[in-house]
Structure 1
Amino acid sequence: MFKRLLWIGLGIITGVMIVSKAQAFVKANTPDKARQFVLGPDQDHVGMRTLESLVAEFKTAQRTREAQLNKQYSGIID
């Protein structure tokens, strides 16, 4: 169990490092217009925007599924 958690943790850390290095490389070696096209106008907060959109998408799916389950099982409770 400990080995599995260790490898998962190392994988997450490695992934974060690779993504941050790749973003730094893209910022350093691409023209501003190309960066704005790929990363958007707010280039400093790409990670936070991505995280916010993932959380919003998860919450939307969660509410949809909850409404679906409530509709499916509301007749059983009554």
Structure 2
Amino acid sequence: MFKRLFWVSIGVGIGVVAVTKAQAYVKANTPDTARQFLLGPDQDHVTMRTLEGLVNEFNATRRAREAELNSKYAARNE
């Protein structure tokens, strides 16, 4: 289990470094209009907006699934 956790951590770390390098490359080598199209108008907080969107999507999906399971098992017990 610790090996898997180690390798997953390494993969996440490599992914973060790759995304950071790609965003830095895009910021340095593209015109402003193309950068705004790719990264949006708030180019300094792209990572936080992406992370916030992922967390919000996860929570919405979790709540929907929880409500589905609650209604399914509440109907079964009545």
What residue number does 1:11 align with?
11
Identity of aligned residues (%): 63
Moved more, 13-22 or 68-77: 68-77
Q: Report how many aligned residue pairs link the two structures.
A: 78
- Provide the residue aligned with 1:62 in structure 2: 62
Between the aligned partners of 1:30 and 1:39, the Cα distance in structure 2 is: 11
TM-score after normalising by structure 2: 0.88
Give the aligned residue type for 1:73.
Answer: Y
**Runs (5+) with no aligned partner, structure 2:** none
Correspondence for 1:37 = 37
CA RMSD of aligned residues (A): 1.3
Counterpart check, 1:74 vs 2:60: no
Looking at structure 2, the residues matched to 56 and 33 of structure 1 have their Cα atoms a distance apart, in angstroms, of 28
2:27 is matched with 27
TM superposition score normalised by structure 1: 0.88
Runs of 4+ in 1 over 6 A off after TM superposition: none
Unpaired stretches in structure 1, ≥5 consecutive residues:
none
